[in-house]
A and B are shown apart, each in its own frame.
Chain A
Amino acid sequence: MATESSSESKSDPSIGARIDNRLDSFSVVHRLLGLVALVALLLALPQVLNDYHVQVLFIVFLFIVLGYGWNILSGFTGYINFGYAGFVGLGAYVTVISVVDFGIPWYAALVIAGISTAIIGTLISAPILRLDGAYFAIAMLSLATAGQLAMSSDYLTPITRGGSGISFFPALSYTEQYYLAVVLAVGVGYATYRLAKSPRGLRLLAIREDELLASALGVKTTREKLTMMLVHAGIAGIGGGLLAFNLSYVDPSTVFGLRYTELPIVMVLFGTAGSVLGPIIGGITFIFISEALWASFPTLHQFFFGIAIMLVVMFMPRGLIERLKDRGYLPRRRSL
């Protein structure tokens, strides 16, 4: 990418410029080796950690996957989806029904969940993508609420078992679930990295900045938004399936819970919307904060969490990565 390294930053002795130069010096082999080493380390962790810590790490990686899924539409195009939990819940139900009622293997159930959530989610939300700003956010929130109510409605009870939900014995152990979450997080993270560096990534960011101008410059905004909605919903569907395996049950209030909208949004905004590292930084920070608050203040943790969100929005509206870029601690690369 032409903007990967700035000629200005080359002569600038700031930390960001030094990182920029160092990143430039890494060959493809170096990068690949680094990635393999990181994945190997993550996969080895369950050997030295107890079940509780593996479960916490699973939650971190599950939310990193969900964060990347949210980021790919809302972070890149600025279409803020306040109803992401609707896609997560749908994916969870499709996965469990596929496994329990149809005897489909877990991996195929996850694929079915991803594809069906992507298609259903995109078809339902396509008209809503014509709205912008707060109207889109409110409409998506309403859609998720409608999805939750539908799962417990009398009409769907024969399939969804209504409000009592479906319990099952998951085919995967906690450690296997963790491995799966790591692989998915690395996969969607790499896909986001490729997207951020591509011309399409630039077009998506142009939609976020000024959709009318993007149209005037030949960006096919409707097509780009629909494509990203497909990926956004598909990742949520797979994430929902993974969540269902971890919970070993699904019911409407759990898998459509506000948590699966709220946390990905906060994580991504904290990290920086439309960035590559944002969901990782936000995921690690906020899941640990969330776990710590929940353990220390079981009745008040949501209150403190709300305060944390307010502080992020008030003092770091463009997120940590942008703040670090502005201050010269990180190079101005779109691949970060």
Chain B
Amino acid sequence: MSSETILEVDGLTKQYGELTAVDDVSFTIERGTIIGLIGPNGAGKSTLFDLVTGVQDPTSGRVFFEGDDITDNSLEANVERGLVRTFQKTRVLGQMTVRENLLVASQLADQPRERAEELIDLIDLGEKADVLADDLSYGQQKLVSITQVMMLNPDMILLDEPLAGVNPTMENKILQLIHEAQQRGTTFVFVEHDMGVIMSECEEILVMNSGRLLTRGSPEEVQEDERVIEAYFGSEDV
């Protein structure tokens, strides 16, 4: 493993009875990069996030984070190590205010109150800081859900469709958050269906289809890869 490698996934597989949701997936991620993870619906992207972060146990394969085997770690243990995630379905603590949503993550944050205020200012939600998360718009909830994990000052964040369903203004704020964290040295892998964003924001792209890692490459390489086009649009022969 290279000294710059932050995450290594080796032969990860998840089976549910006869169905193989993730099939022998292996890859490495370099520290400080922004990597896109794409694939058609049902490709196994969210399940892969679950396996890497300890939400689900893999059937086989190993996960290494900063050189240590974290395959059997719980989600909480991984968060403590600096590997955090968001969820495909936006999750916020609806009966808590925006500020409280951030302060919940205070256990691992340095100077949590100052950091919370800094992040609230960064996402322009100062006027909504004492508003319940349930009373925010969908886009604002999405923003809060990403800001929550930023509170943890993690080494690596896995973002599951962070831009789905948000308007362009909100999209810019989320990308601004990601860039701010990257400047602090945070590594990102994000699942996204907006190809424009993936192509412009990511240094490399991993493509999954039917549980397998189809290919990996730069945005230009992936764009021209016949297998990727076929995975999304089907073969002309069919």
Contacts and interface: CB of A to CB of B under 8 A. Distances in A.
B221 to A, nearest CB: 33
B99 A215 contact: no
Given A2-B116, A199-B107, A219-B104, 7 more contacts: A2-B129, A203-B104, A213-B93, A216-B53, A218-B80, A218-B107, A219-B107
Contacts of A220: 76, 107
B32 to A, nearest CB: 22
B103 interface: yes
Interface in B65-113: 74-76, 79-80, 84-87, 91-97, 99-100, 103-108, 112-113
A101 B87 CA distance: 57
A2 B99 contact: yes
Contacts of B75: 212, 215-216
A216 B112 CA distance: 17
A221 interface: yes
B99 A210 contact: no
A6 interface: yes
A218 B152 contact: yes
Interface in A213-229: 213-222
B125 interface: no
B150 to A, nearest CB: 11
A269 to B, nearest CB: 15
Contacts of A206: 93, 96, 104
Given A215-B75, A215-B79, A216-B85, A209 B95 contact: yes
Interface string B37-56: 00000000000000001010
Most buried by B among A3, A205, A217, A222: A217
A11 to B, nearest CB: 12
Contacts of B112: 199
25 contacts: A2-B113, A3-B97, A7-B129, A8-B131, A199-B106, A199-B107, A202-B104, A209-B95, A210-B91, A212-B87, A212-B91, A214-B104, A215-B74, A215-B76, A216-B53, A216-B75, A217-B79, A217-B105, A217-B148, A218-B79, A218-B105, A218-B152, A219-B107, A221-B76, A332-B97
Nearest to A200: B107
A2 B120 CA distance: 13
Interface of B: 53, 55, 74-76, 79-80, 84-87, 91-97, 99-100, 103-108, 112-113, 116, 129-131, 148-149, 151-152
A199 B103 CA distance: 8
A218 B117 CA distance: 19
Q: How large is the interface on A (under 10, 10 to 19, 20 to 34, 35 or more residues)?
A: 20 to 34
A3 B91 contact: no
B94 to A, nearest CB: 7
A176 to B, nearest CB: 41
Contacts of A212: 55, 75, 87, 91
Nearest to B97: A3
